[in-house]
Structure 1
Amino acid sequence: MNFNKKNLEDAVSENIISLEQSEKLIEFLNKQPNATPKFDFTHVLYYIGGMIAIGAMTLFMNLGWESFGGIGILFISLFYGAVGLKLTNIFKSKGLAIPAGICGTFVIALTPLAVYGLQHALGVWPDESVYREYHRYIKWHWLYMELSTLAVGAIIAWKYKYPFLIMPIAVTLWYLTMDVAVMINGGDYSWELRKLVSMYTGLLMIALAFWVDIRSHNKADYSFWIYLFGVIAFWGGMSLQHSDSELSKFIYFSINIFMIFAGVLIVRRVFVVFGAIGCSGYIGHLASNIFKDSWLFPITLTLLGLFVIYLGVLWQKNESLITTKARSFLPVALRELLESKHA
């Protein structure tokens, strides 16, 4: 549970703690290293700097680097990686978890470039494609780069255990499934295939994230990035499916409703956000196509909205009783996860 200075002032006014105790607590907390990401200027600078550095070696890599040749790219990548690991260790020793995690992530993000350079140096690169296409197109021979990234990412994440290190691993898992599906399908790059693979990959990533969440909820949020890219992959692939069946569209709406409730239950906003977007899209479809000439439709929606608000009031009154009873039927591990989320 998060609290701020106002909460402490309220506690003082209620004689729960003394003014002196609150001042000493604030002083103590201000001296602690910030290990949890939060929205302040320091952390914004950390992440802006980190994403610029990571983006420079991934998304924004230009063709000028090809002039270094395979050996040059490999050694430059290894040098950058060594610097990144050194900075990771320095920040770790100073208790600066956020910059340490960002520098470790930078090292993982360098892995595809290093493998690309190695393959060119060994003369085994199979076509005329260049590294900058790695983040844009699906090709079977990206597999070596992706598998190497997963291996390096697993080692660094195991050694340093910073949640942000999971981000490039989650992205790479998404890339990998796309490339494997195309390879198995004999090089078919059809849009329909990509949508299906994205949807089922997303489901697998969500399941993985949930497992990680249960295992590590009392340590750190290692599942955040897997949830994020899993939901994006699943929801994106599902939303891009085409169907003329109103039943299919209603099932899509129902899945989005379920995502909202699941997101609230496990306190994952990404489910709520994408679920809400999906529900809005379905209601827009009803308004634009099914009930476009009906004067009753807006009135019905208004009444439905007011009913949902009323349900919220009832839930607030009985939340503790309902929650306690419902959780009593759950497995211990899941119950502990939910209790930690709502503590």
Structure 2
Amino acid sequence: MRLTIQPTDLHKAVAAGVLAPGQDAALLSFLQQQNPERASFQLAHIAYYFGAMLIIGAMGWLLTEAWMNIGEGALLIISAAYMLLFTLCGRSMWQRGQQIPGGLLGAVAVSMTPLLIFAVQRLMGWWPLDDGLGSYNDYYKYVQSGWLAMELGTVMVGVLMLRMLPFPFIVMPIAIALWFMSMDLTELLFGSSFDWEQRRWISLWFGLLVLLCSLWVDGRSQRDYAFWGYLAGLLAFWGGLSMMDSGSELGKALYCLINLGLIAVAVLLRRAMFMVFGALGVASYLGYLSYEVFADSLLFPVIVSLLGLAVIGLGIVYQRQRDAFSAKLRRKIPSSWQSFLPALRR
């Protein structure tokens, strides 16, 4: 059973004479430093993240064409002011101990980088695109090699922001910029012959690379930077995999096996997000079987229902013996690979 200590508990300990006056604040500060990412799931935290995503969306893919008409100079001043404001506010909150809202504001500042670079390029006459894709909104819609400066700048600013505010969510805009960059570099290499099938493969391989990098980072730092890397990697890998066209039953079965592998990775690393994506993939395959292969079968829904009950039962058993499950699965991995696995998180 995991024990959660609240500030009020420490105050009561002082009142009871268990702690000396002043020791409660020192102990609370120490515990927060030891476990900065294990804050309880509070409504305020949801509001923080939701507000940050609203700002990122508003100044990103929801930016209207009217903003493009105010002029490059005004766009540059506004984007630079936003970045500076979010950075200063985020750093101020971080220094006052409000790490979640402070780190999120740092991530918002990083997400403003493409707009700032866009304005600079247009103002200085360095804009490389002349094919009608001159709107900032197109950055989130089309693959173009002309976006590379915006993506490279976002990665650089994100790395600098991580040094200033070591908050894991800042990894997300960096990973998205790298994903866009992988697409745009391929367009630069292959030209206009770059089709959707190639994009799916690139998304898949890029997602796999991000997952491997996140695995290497996992457990090597006190903060959980790997969480957002895993999420970005799964979105790219699983998204590319799920959008691929497979005309054979073998290909569809392989898709199901890969998703079952993601479920195994969830047990191995004790990361629930792998379970979520893997379960979605398996459910998609079962849906295909239901509507295409076993459309006339009366027993198929019954079998799937029994399978669902079995999965629930396994979930109950796993919850009780998850340490033994993870340890047993890890023992099956070659010893030369086990050194790459992170320590299990509680």
TM class, shorter-length: 0.7 to 0.9
Asked if structure 1 preserves the Cα contact closer than 8 Å seen for 2:211 and 2:230, the reply is yes
**TM-score under structure 1 length normalisation:** 0.83
Map Cα deviations across residues 59-95 of structure 1 (whole Å, 9 max, x no partner): 2212222233222222222222221221122112201
Greater Cα shift, 172-181 or 316-325 = 316-325
Q: Aligned letter for 1:244?
A: G
Map Cα deviations across residues 10-57 of structure 1 (whole Å, 9 max, x no partner): xxxxxxx9x969999xx8799767943653232223223322222222
Corresponding residue of 1:262: 265
Where does 1:63-78 land on structure 2 (aligned, <5 Å)?
A: 63-78=65-80
Check if 1:277 corresponds to 2:280. Answer: yes
Tell me how many residue pairs correspond in the alignment.
326
Alpha-carbon distance in structure 1 between the residues aligned to 2:124 and 2:112: 19
Corresponding residue of 1:286: 289
Asked if structure 2 preserves the Cα contact closer than 8 Å seen for 1:201 and 1:230, the reply is yes
Corresponding residue of 1:179: 184
Where does 1:1-343 land on structure 2 (aligned, <5 Å)?
A: 2-4=2-4, 35-36=36-37, 38-125=40-127, 126-127=129-130, 128=132, 129-216=134-221, 219-302=222-305, 304-305=307-308, 323-324=326-327, 327=330, 330=335, 333-334=339-340, 337-339=342-344, 341=345, 343=346
Map Cα deviations across residues 120-145 of structure 1 (whole Å, 9 max, x no partner): 11112132411122112211100010
Q: Does the C-alpha gap of structure 1 residues 22 and 102 become closer, same or farther in structure 2, counting only changes over 3 Å? A: farther
Q: Does the C-alpha gap of structure 1 residues 21 and 257 become closer, same or farther in structure 2, counting only changes over 3 Å? A: farther
Corresponding residue of 1:13: none
Q: Does the C-alpha gap of structure 1 residues 154 and 320 become closer, same or farther in structure 2, counting only changes over 3 Å? A: closer
Q: Tell me how far 1:189 sits from its aligned partner.
A: 4.6
Q: Tell me how far 1:226 sits from its aligned partner.
A: 1.5
> Over aligned residue pairs, what C-alpha RMSD do you find?
3.2
Asked if structure 2 preserves the Cα contact closer than 8 Å seen for 1:70 and 1:121, the reply is yes
Q: Aligned letter for 1:228?
A: L
Q: Which runs of 5+ in 2 are unaligned?
A: none
Q: Partner of 2:126: helix, strand, or coil?
A: coil
Q: Tell me how far 1:151 sits from its aligned partner.
A: 0.7
Asked if structure 2 preserves the Cα contact closer than 8 Å seen for 1:77 and 1:110, the reply is yes
Q: Does the C-alpha gap of structure 1 residues 29 and 244 become closer, same or farther in structure 2, counting only changes over 3 Å? A: farther
